Structure 1
Amino acid sequence: MRNLTVGDVMTTAVLTARPAMPLKEAARVLAEKHISALPVLDADDHLVGVVSEGDVLLKQGHQIPRRPHWWEGRRRRDTLRRAAGDTVGHVMSAPVETAMADDSLARAARLMTELGVRSLPVVDRHRALVGIVSRADVLSTFLRTDEEIRAEILGEVLVHLLWQDPTGIDVGVHDGVVTMTGVVGERSTAETAERLVRRLDGVVDVVSELRHRVDDGGLAHPR
């Protein structure tokens, strides 16, 4: 059983910016290409930041620049410094959270939710940009059909991983919600089946009504 990773769904043809790019040019690219952010690369093509629609709006919202006062909070002083610049390097957000190609989609989704961002740059171990993953990319995993999910449960989970006879188990999938009924050998097998199915891409919820012939204590039973 293989879950999709960031590398499976990310976009590899990524528009980028350089720190010296004029802010107006970055704004034009964002508007014309209908994207929310541009990864910013240094001379060695390593990721150094991200310039987003929000960063451009920061400049627009401070049309009368002024020097920050020492008594203002750190975040406020940083905002004023960034707003005073006219290049991507001045206003970009840095450092920036990233994903790696072998990260799970669950980790990418959690990061985007926690950070309140629409996308994450994807880098290799040298911080070189290899792609970008968006909320839409992650959500695409939920577009798997019920038939595809059911086929993976029967063939991959039950037969290949758990060595179960699928003819004794009824599996139904409706709008991503999986229902399993039938009889398996051990209680631990029933619990394992539910856990594995919950991890499948596209599964929204699992209703397991699997019964067992032998109570081996379940997954918590010491072996």
Structure 2
Amino acid sequence: MTENRTITLVVADDQTTVREALAVMLDLAEDVTVVATATNGAEAVEAAERHHPDVLLMDLNMPVMGGVEATGRIHGAEPHTTVLVLTTFDDDESILAALHAGASGYLTKDADRTTILHAVRAAAQGQTVLAPEVQRRLLALTARPAPVAPPRDEGFNLTAREREILALIGEGLRNPEIAAQLVISEATVKTHINNMFAKAGFHSRADAVRYALRTQRSAQDPQ
């Protein structure tokens, strides 16, 4: 977009007060027009397809469809729309999953109006904006030696269900979302994850996310 054109924006957040406050606050800027709001990821995808906004401000933890899955769908279907994450989560798992899905920026909800508005403008210009704490986490992840992946045919001897859950973890889904998608109980999900962690030697979900992403890349680019 050119610097003189108004930035069209969609705000997606399941909390009514947050969503409405963001929409009003950002719409007051002379160069920003909020064209729609969404209460969940499915509505965010629909709004992106209908309005083709320059930027979509995306929460992560939403019902019906989470922000990570919605980001991936929008990134694939509406490549001209830049997804900017605004969430309460700054853990490794959420950051990696959102960026892997195609988010171009990542802010936490303690950001002030000036920071959010600057990020929206930067995102509309194709720039990446990361909150300072997110930058620190990414640098730490880069510096941390990644566990060596075993041969793909060995795969820690995971069961088919464990592999399925590992893939969903790599997509950024949390235990309740995994349980809903696989139509099993959350307790069963936790049992599979505990077994998986014991077999693979994972110490955190971030370890599982990194391994899942590496496995996906290996599958897409076989040697």
Kindly indicate which of the two structures has a greater share of residues assigned to strand. Answer: 1
Asked if Structure 1 and Structure 2 have the same fold, meaning a TM-score greater than 0.5 normalized by the shorter chain, the answer is: no
Give me the TM-score of the superposition, normalised by structure 2.
0.22
Higher relative contact order (CA 8 A, sep 6+): 1
Quick check: which has more Rg, 1 or 2? 1
Give me the TM-score of the superposition, normalised by structure 1.
0.22
Kindly indicate which of the two structures has a greater share of residues assigned to helix. Answer: 2
